[in-house]
Amino acid sequence: MMFDKKFPLVTFIDTQESLNQLVEQLKQSNMIALDTEFVRTRTYYAQLGLIQVYNGDVLALIDPVSGINLTEFWGLLKNENILKVLHSASEDLEVFAHYGDVMPTPYFDSQIGAGFAKMGHGLGYANLVHQLLGIELDKGESRTDWIKRPLSDKQLTYAANDVFYLYHLFPMLKQKLEEFGRWDWALEESANMCQGRLDAIDYDNAYLKVKNGFQLSQIQLAYLKPIAKWRLKTAVKKDIAVGFIIKDHALIALAKSKATTFAQLSSVKELNEHEKRKFSKHLLSNLQNADLENLPQKIDVIAFRPDYKQSFKTVKSKLVSIAENNEVPIEIFASKKYIHDFLSWYWSDNKGNNPKLLVGWRGMLALSTLSSLEL
């Protein structure tokens, strides 16, 4: 095919007045293509550098670094009358949650859509543009420091491309999905990506995400719990990735040591000297306040069950067959996590919410097969 759409004038939005005007224009849209550019190195949260949006008439690059108030724009993302189209948007959703406390609704992810449209799993944006529009994109600016100003014309063009072509390929992708009867599947799976992202941070259960916590006894977990909570709170407050405060293996060593004095803490070799100097008081305070009267439950790792590997293999084999018969990428249909969650649910005598494999479009394909299994 020959793509002949003229590239529109790009508007750089860095004043409150221009942003307010843009939002009013976008409110009249049925669909907008959306993207963000950000930087993430040592920070807990991604640093938002640019927001790109295109509704077929107006292509705007919004500059959050300028300090403009984005409240009205975030409100636009909740407008039920406007479909928000993004590509591979997991990290964009993190940005929306942190900066706007919002999820785009309704929302369509073109990478998910491409998978359902039998174009391939995990398809990159440039590949999708090439397949549908025949355009070769220059991705040379993908490592740009989007916080630094001014941005070059080449960088701005790169950013604008991400929504210009997305807007124009969307109708073609939607048509493919409708022909396959999978448009609703793509919307459902896109919505699944948004689930839980606006939940409050669960500081109390931070210890459950510390690697190898399952190795610890209940008493050791009681010591791990307060220091994991302190680390996460510190990371959020200082906007530093948790691993750049204290590594997981050091937290595990501290919990095993049950250190409650400076001498005991100093003997924990997994803590480096910088960490000991900077954090000893905080760590000791939390370790000394470990609640030994109400011990956490030992972390149950079902993967250690003697029948886990064979059961996992059995379930996966059934699901691979279903995925192949329906030409759905197994990576979308049944990730390792989804199979693991199904087995956890199955062995808990079906307690709690039904696992993902039994609901929605997945349930339509897999429910009868999985319901008949005996593991």
Q: What is the CATH number of the domain that holds 256?
A: 1.10.150.80
Q: Could you report how far apart the first and last alpha carbons of the chain are, in Å?
A: 51
What confidence tens digit (pLDDT) does each residue in 97-111 have? Answer: 999 999 999 999 999
The answer to whether the beta carbons of residues 194 and 107 sit under 8 Å apart is: yes
Residue 123 sits in the same domain as residue 214: no
Domain that holds residue 342: 302-371
What confidence tens digit (pLDDT) does each residue in 33-89 have? Answer: 999 999 988 999 999 999 999 999 999 999 999 999 999 999 999 999 999 999 999
* pLDDT band of 351, cuts 50, 70, 90: confident
Distance, CA of 219 to CA of 296 (rounded, Å) = 8
What confidence tens digit (pLDDT) does each residue in 219-261 have? Answer: 999 999 999 999 999 999 999 999 999 999 999 999 999 999 9
162 is catalytic: yes
- Burial of residue 50 (CB within 10 Å: 0-12, 13-18, 19+) is buried
Residue 213 scores a pLDDT above 70: yes
Would you give the distance in Å from CA 201 to the centre of its chain? 14
188 is catalytic: no
Exposure class string for 196-210: b at 16+ Cβ within 10 A, else e: eeeeeeeeeebbeeb
Pick the range with the lowest mean pLDDT from 19-23, 141-145, 205-209, 215-219: 141-145
> Which residue in 63, 92, 109, 189 is the catalytic one?
92
CA angle at residue 340 from 338 to 341, to 5 degrees?
A: 65
Residue 41 sits in the same domain as residue 69: yes
pLDDT score for 208: 96
63 is catalytic: no
H or E element in which residue 23 lies: helix 16-26
What confidence tens digit (pLDDT) does each residue in 282-314 have? Answer: 999 999 999 999 999 999 889 889 999 999 999
pLDDT score for 1: 63
203 is catalytic: no
Cα dist from 344 to 156, 209, 214, 338, whole Å: 47, 17, 16, 10
Residue 120 sits in the same domain as residue 148: yes
Residue 60 sits in the same domain as residue 157: yes
Residue 112 sits in the same domain as residue 163: yes
> Which residue in 35, 63, 109, 189 is the catalytic one?
35
The mean pLDDT value for 6-29 works out to 97
> Which residue in 54, 63, 125, 162 is the catalytic one?
162
| In a domain? residue 21 | yes
Q: How many domains does the chain have?
A: 3
Residue 314 sits in the same domain as residue 244: no
Q: What pTM, to 2 d.p., does this model score?
A: 0.93
Helix (H) and strand (E) counts for the chain?
15, 6
* Closest C-alpha among 149, 162, 172, 170 to residue 53: 162
| In a domain? residue 1 | no
At which residue do the structure tokens 């693991």 appear? Answer: 340
DSSP secondary-structure letter at 52? E
